[in-house]
Structure 1
Amino acid sequence: MSEDSLHIRGGQDLPGFHNLLGYHQLSWEENEAVIGLELQPCHLNLGGVIHGGVLTSLLDIAMAEAGTYCPYPGRIRKAITLSLTTTFTGQCSGGTIRVTGRRRAGGTRIFNSTGEVHDDKGNLLAIAEGTFRIRSGSEKPEGVPI
């Protein structure tokens, strides 16, 4: 994985919602992506635990990344979410969470991924599965310019 990919996909250069979430890329390779998030008060719900929308958003990002790895610096592959199901299995209110997405099956345009979120003690917080479609122009490994 190039440093450009890490910086663009998980750093302050991300536009809008990605930047708002504040996650960072831990690893990214063919069929697997891992992102991390240090929990802040803005990530918590009224009960003081991580908001389900934050968990679902991070799962969506990691699972889409799992099917769109691009090894070419300065380029990116993109996907849109067709369906996403999340099951919440635990809670936490601090520390760093780790979100792993894995591509499981698919063809040249449509793929399926699963995801898991763990807290820094290894507790499972959520699981998910989703179906994604590669955006036009992103079908080939070289993707499109960033």
Structure 2
Amino acid sequence: MDDLMKGEPASGFQTLLGYTLVRWEDGVAEVELTIAPQHRNRGGVLHGGALMTLLDTVMGFAATHCTVPGHSRRVVTLSLSSSFLGAVAEGTVVARGTLLGGGRKIVGCRGEVRRKDDGALLASAEGMFKYAPGSENPEGTPR
């Protein structure tokens, strides 16, 4: 698989949770997580906090694609509104984020998390994100 992060190392939180970036294009991103015991809540299903992390992460990626080698773009989350629609205890989930639009510094995104095997919708969200200085430009800033 190509290095979608273009040489940028995984964050500590990404390493801790174990999700993988599987698609990253202009305005769209996808991450996958294979559910392990540490991802489950006391009821034995994927924890809502893990779902929220995947949604926040994938929407942030959708807003920050950059094609300039050695450059990156960053956002901070301003708001996140979510709905939990299903539960899953095992297997792999796929989170997909889409950039909806916005202004030069603040943009909106939509996200969904689905079971990989049958596409059942588990959670959805919308969020507002603010670009870090320099990240509002598609060419980003040097790392």
Instruction: Give yes or no for contact 1:117–1:127 (8 Å, CA) kept in 2.
Output: yes
Q: Which residue of 1 aligns with 2:114?
A: 118
**Moved >4 Å (runs of 4+):** none
Instruction: Give yes or no for contact 1:67–1:103 (8 Å, CA) kept in 2.
Output: yes
Q: Which residue of 2 aligns with 1:102?
A: 98
Q: Which residue of 2 aligns with 1:89?
A: 85
Q: Which of 76, 80, 84 is equivalent to 1:80?
A: 76
The structure that is helix-richer by fraction is: 1
How many pairs were matched up? Answer: 141
TM-score, structure 2 length as denominator? 0.92
Q: Which residue of 1 aligns with 2:57?
A: 61
Instruction: Give yes or no for contact 1:5–1:74 (8 Å, CA) kept in 2.
Output: no
Say yes or no: does 1:27 pair with 2:46.
no
Instruction: Give yes or no for contact 2:30–2:58 (8 Å, CA) kept in 1.
Output: yes
The aligned amino acid for 1:130 is: G
- Return the alpha-carbon distance in structure 1 between the equivalents of residues 68 and 52 of structure 2: 28
Q: Which runs of 5+ in 2 are unaligned?
A: none
The aligned amino acid for 2:75 is: A
Shift of 1:67: 1.0
- Return the alpha-carbon distance in structure 2 between the equivalents of residues 51 and 114 of structure 1: 20
